[in-house]
Chains A and B, each alone.
Chain A
Amino acid sequence: MERDIGKPLFNLFLLIASASAFVAASALPNIEIPGDLSAAFFPKLLSGLVFILAIPCLIKDLQEWRRAGSEGSKAAAVNPVRGIAQWCFAIVLLVAYIYAFERLGYIASTALFTFFCVMGLALISGAWSTLSAAQKGLSLLFALVFSVVLAGAIFYVFTDLFQIPLPT
């Protein structure tokens, strides 16, 4: 069994977050409406529930983590680093795109995002390394043209046909 500290850490985070949410709910102003519950009642109830539910999850994950450690398994056959790197690449690229969205304008940010996405995914998946020099040049050109055409086409469709104003 693979030893994974992420799960207990996440449950610990849930415990802390729910405790913080409970404290934040307790600090809400208390406006009394006769017969009605306060605005803080439901948030306190729910954050309390998350706290209670996170405890068995944390205990279970800690037990699994310890068991995996005591079994001394070195059978971590699957290397999760590559998978997580791919996820992180995709998320970071998305965040960068959102940051550039209104600053660079729709067409420029979208073309850049698409280009880096296509190239990045080809690199990460290992498909790039299998190509010859000529194929690499062709793929690069394709990615460039595809990115610009896609960005331009979407911009035209949404601004002119659907009348949705996009940042320029």
Chain B
Amino acid sequence: MEILDNLALGVSVAFTIENLMYCALGVTIGMLIGVIPGVGHLAAISMLLPLTYYVPATTALVMLAGIYYGAQYGGSTAAILLNLPGTPSSSVVCLDGYPMTKQGRAGVALFMTTIASFVGSFITVIVLAAFAPPLADFAIAFNSADYFSMMLLGLVAAAILVQGNPAKGLAAVVFGLLLGIVGTDVSTGIQRYTFGLTFLYDGLNIVAIAMGIFGVTEVVANVGKVVQVKNDQKITFRSLLPTRRDLKESIFPMLRGTGIGTGIGVLPGTGTSIGSFIAYAVEKKVSKNPEKFGKGAIEGITAPESANNAAAQSAFIPTLTLGIPGDAVMALMLGALLIHGITPGPNVISDNPDLFWGLVISFLIGNVMLLILNIPMVGLWVRLLKIPYPILYPSIILFIVIGVYSINYSDMDIMLVALFGAIGCLFLLLGFEPAPLLLGFILGPMMEENFRRAMLLSRGDLMVFLERPVSATFFAMIAALVVWSIYSAIRKKRVAVAKEF
């Protein structure tokens, strides 16, 4: 019965005019962002992060989360109609979505991806509501040493599982941790890495960092890259309707995709893209006709689409229950919590039940809104693709600048945005992932606090991290991850050498 009370609380929070309005705003922006290639949800969330200063924490999270899962819906539209993925996770939808368009089945593809997105999200929200509270209850018993090792595991996993070189991922994490300790040390009052600059005494502003490394970088990186595409697809209501066979062939792929996405989404560093690629690979493997994949197979769009939406929702499980963000978007969600003075961790659900349950219900509302928004407005979304980038670019930059200026009314914050924008571009150019940097920055101060508390309680005995069963388990997992990473690097090298010969 407790869950019914909690859901009732969630309904009372989510159905306020303010939260409904921000939910609608978030999902609409998400859809827009998802549709337009070259502007990602990370840039959009970081651009709207300053708005969270002016609204309650729940409302802020409702809107930011709406952008995230809304973009997963929108991403497939451009992928299907133009072979241009709006989000990285929807690139797999191009494989079969675009061939369907060429066969004159764009309407069916758009309809089925919307249904698949809805199914993936809806089921995972139920999983979130069912499993998040018990997980948080379990984690409440953690002490400082356990927290430290859990955060370390989250960071190591995020760095290693991220695409590319694990050493670079780890370097980015540690660089982020270093940025996190800029400012006044809370225990001693000593200024660290402030270089006498008073605006750094309170530490670096998360909004400036996020806007710089995601907003500015993404916009700058797409300068001269985005190709404007003409689209003459006409989507009528009749063309949207799937056949009975389409529906039959989609049910199990959607459910498998949801399962895969839910599992992948809770892992740190994986994000929505990996879930959709795995779902596609699995579908191809289990199919009786694998040869039709890449030629317009409906399973090739429904499975990855439900997987990426499920992953986008299940990523909230470790974020809200353990305070461990799996990716950069979740790190920004934690940033929004921190802005409101809410310390991420297992206490979030017990201390702020209205926030958690309001968010859960808002996910359901947001998904229904997206279902309604997506199909009838396809024509509008497609027209948005025609906005010239030279107009889009300055407009985004102006919103970034004004957003960060509105926090402290200081041009130093805008300078920081430009600096982190340059760092983000450099990262991109040199193959470093910026997401682990943000994770390190967010978790850095909390890790240091827990590490120091653990050392204080154990009188400086490092063995405390191995004596506690929970902490020891986390350290064993870290060791396994590192060993696996080294092993796979050696194997890859051997395969490359064998191929050379």
Residues of A within 8 A of B (CB): 6-7, 10, 14, 21, 24-25, 28-29, 31, 33, 35-43, 46-47, 49-50, 53-54, 56-57, 60, 82-84, 86-87, 89-91, 94-95, 97-98, 101-102, 110, 113-114, 117-118, 121-122, 124-125, 127, 146, 150-151, 154, 158, 162, 164-166
**In whole angstroms, what is the CA distance A38 to B451 when docked?**
12
Among A25, A31, A50, point to the contact of B192 (Cβ < 8 A).
Answer: A25
Among B165, B193, B409, B418, point to the contact of A98 (Cβ < 8 A).
Answer: B418
B171 touches A42 (CB 8 A): no
**Residue on A nearest B459 in the bound complex, by CB:** A35
Instruction: Determine the chain A residues whose CB is within 8 A of the CB of B497 once the complex forms.
Output: none
Chain B proximity of A163: nearest CB distance (Å): 10
- The answer to the question of B123 belonging to the interface, with a C-beta cut-off of 8 Å to chain A, is no
A94 touches B397 (CB 8 A): yes
**In whole angstroms, what is the CA distance A66 to B348 when docked?**
52
Instruction: Determine the chain B residues whose CB is within 8 A of the CB of A84 once the complex forms.
Output: 429
Q: Top 6 nearest A-B pairs by Cβ distance?
A: A117-B394, A121-B390, A39-B185, A39-B190, A53-B171, A90-B220
A164 touches B178 (CB 8 A): no
- The answer to the question of B495 belonging to the interface, with a C-beta cut-off of 8 Å to chain A, is no
Instruction: Determine the chain B residues whose CB is within 8 A of the CB of A121 once the complex forms.
Output: 223-224, 389-390, 393
B430 touches A164 (CB 8 A): no
B430 touches A31 (CB 8 A): no
Q: Name 17 interchain pairs, CB-CB below 8 A, sorted by A.
A: A28-B192, A37-B451, A40-B192, A42-B181, A49-B170, A82-B224, A83-B224, A89-B223, A90-B393, A94-B421, A98-B415, A101-B414, A110-B398, A121-B393, A125-B389, A164-B402, A165-B409
A36 touches B398 (CB 8 A): no
A98 touches B398 (CB 8 A): no
A42-B181, A57-B165 as given contacts; A87 in contact with B171, CB under 8 Å: no
A37 touches B397 (CB 8 A): no
A33-B188, A125-B390, A150-B398 as given contacts; A57 in contact with B178, CB under 8 Å: no
B391 touches A158 (CB 8 A): no
Number of A-B contacts (CB under 8 A): 147
Instruction: Determine the chain B residues whose CB is within 8 A of the CB of A37 once the complex forms.
Output: 451-452, 455-456
- The answer to the question of B216 belonging to the interface, with a C-beta cut-off of 8 Å to chain A, is yes
Instruction: Determine the chain B residues whose CB is within 8 A of the CB of A33 once the complex forms.
Output: 187-188
Interface of B is mostly: helix
Give the contact-size bracket for chain B. 35 or more
Instruction: Determine the chain B residues whose CB is within 8 A of the CB of A90 once the complex forms.
Output: 219-220, 223, 393
A125 touches B224 (CB 8 A): yes
A35-B456, A50-B174, A57-B165 as given contacts; A113 in contact with B193, CB under 8 Å: no
**In whole angstroms, what is the CA distance A150 to B459 when docked?**
60
A47 touches B178 (CB 8 A): yes
Instruction: Determine the chain A residues whose CB is within 8 A of the CB of B448 once the complex forms.
Output: 42
Among B174, B389, B394, B430, point to the contact of A6 (Cβ < 8 A).
Answer: B430
Instruction: Determine the chain B residues whose CB is within 8 A of the CB of A49 once the complex forms.
Output: 170, 174
**In whole angstroms, what is the CA distance A84 to B190 when docked?**
40
Chain A proximity of B331: nearest CB distance (Å): 18
**Residue on B nearest A91 in the bound complex, by CB:** B422
- Other A-B contacts than A35-B460, A117-B393, 16 sampled, CB-CB below 8 A, are A7-B430, A21-B178, A28-B190, A31-B189, A31-B190, A36-B455, A36-B456, A37-B456, A42-B452, A43-B181, A53-B167, A87-B220, A89-B223, A91-B220, A102-B411, A164-B402
Chain B proximity of A100: nearest CB distance (Å): 10
Instruction: Determine the chain A residues whose CB is within 8 A of the CB of B426 once the complex forms.
Output: 10
A25-B192, A46-B174, A94-B418 as given contacts; A146 in contact with B223, CB under 8 Å: no
Chain A proximity of B477: nearest CB distance (Å): 19
**In whole angstroms, what is the CA distance A25 to B405 when docked?**
31
Instruction: Determine the chain A residues whose CB is within 8 A of the CB of B185 once the complex forms.
Output: 39
B224 touches A124 (CB 8 A): yes
Instruction: Determine the chain B residues whose CB is within 8 A of the CB of A102 once the complex forms.
Output: 411
- The answer to the question of B177 belonging to the interface, with a C-beta cut-off of 8 Å to chain A, is yes
- The answer to the question of B104 belonging to the interface, with a C-beta cut-off of 8 Å to chain A, is no
- Residues 171-210 of B, flagged 1 when their CB comes within 8 A of A and 0 if not, give 1001101100100010111101100000000000000000
- Residues 340-364 of B, flagged 1 when their CB comes within 8 A of A and 0 if not, give 0000000000000000000000000
**Residue on B nearest A103 in the bound complex, by CB:** B411
- The answer to the question of B221 belonging to the interface, with a C-beta cut-off of 8 Å to chain A, is yes
- The answer to the question of B488 belonging to the interface, with a C-beta cut-off of 8 Å to chain A, is no
Instruction: Determine the chain B residues whose CB is within 8 A of the CB of A39 once the complex forms.
Output: 185, 187-188, 190, 192
Chain B proximity of A24: nearest CB distance (Å): 7
Instruction: Determine the chain A residues whose CB is within 8 A of the CB of B178 once the complex forms.
Output: 21, 43, 46-47, 50
Among A29, A40, A113, A127, point to the contact of B394 (Cβ < 8 A).
Answer: A113
